């Protein structure tokens, strides 16, 4: 999942501290409801520690009634490349098979494109998510990379 819409960076504003807009909060809640409707059971949430990803993950967790202990902020996920995201998943999945990663473009869209059965549909808009059922072999390859 890509974080929801954040306030634009103002003059002197730090990108890391950008908060969600009201529209972003609504979009994050809508994305979470779509996950709930798909009857997805998330076992672990890995997220960038940036404010906008933390807020997005918190909204999703609240909507899905996930325990806060399932959320783990991983510093390397802030503005991470595809290779870094894959490495973090491999290192931090904690045995979970149903994992939500909340991050930033372009890396999170690249991951979705790489793992998707329809790679042409790769770009994730803000609050966009992609459900990617993986075979056992794909999961092993992802978590051992």
Residue 122's domain spans which residues? 15-143
26: pLDDT strictly greater than 70: yes
Is 79 inside a domain boundary? Answer: yes
Q: Can you give the CATH number for the domain in which 124 is found?
A: 3.40.50.1240
Is 2 inside a domain boundary? Answer: no
Rounded to two decimals, the pTM is 0.93
Is 8 inside a domain boundary? Answer: no
Looking at every residue in the chain, the average pLDDT score rounds to 91
Is 9 inside a domain boundary? Answer: no
Three-state SS across the chain? CECCCECCCCCCCCHHHCCECHHHHHHHHHHHHHHHHCCCCCCEEEECCCHHHHHHHHHHHHHHCCCHHHEEECHHHCCCCHHHHHHHHHHHCCCCCCEEEEECCCHHHHHHHHHCCCCCCCCCCCCCCCCCCCCHHHHHHHHCC
């Amino acid at each position: 999942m890509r974080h929801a819409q954040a306030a634009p960076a103002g003059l002197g504003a730090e990108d890391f501290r950008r908060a969600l807009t009201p529209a972003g909060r609504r979009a994050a809640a809508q994305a979470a409801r779509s996950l709930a409707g798909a009857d997805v059971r998330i076992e672990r949430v890995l997220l960038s520690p940036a404010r906008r990803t933390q807020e997005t993950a918190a909204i999703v967790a609240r909507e899905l009634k996930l325990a806060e202990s399932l959320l783990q902020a991983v510093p390397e996920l802030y503005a991470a490349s595809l290779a870094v995201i894959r490495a973090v998943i491999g290192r931090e999945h904690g045995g979970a098979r149903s994992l939500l990663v909340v991050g930033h473009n372009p890396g999170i869209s690249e991951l979705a494109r790489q793992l998707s059965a329809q790679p042409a549909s790769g770009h994730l808009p803000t609050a966009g998510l992609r459900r990617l059922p993986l075979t056992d072999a794909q999961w092993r390859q992802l978590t051992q990379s």
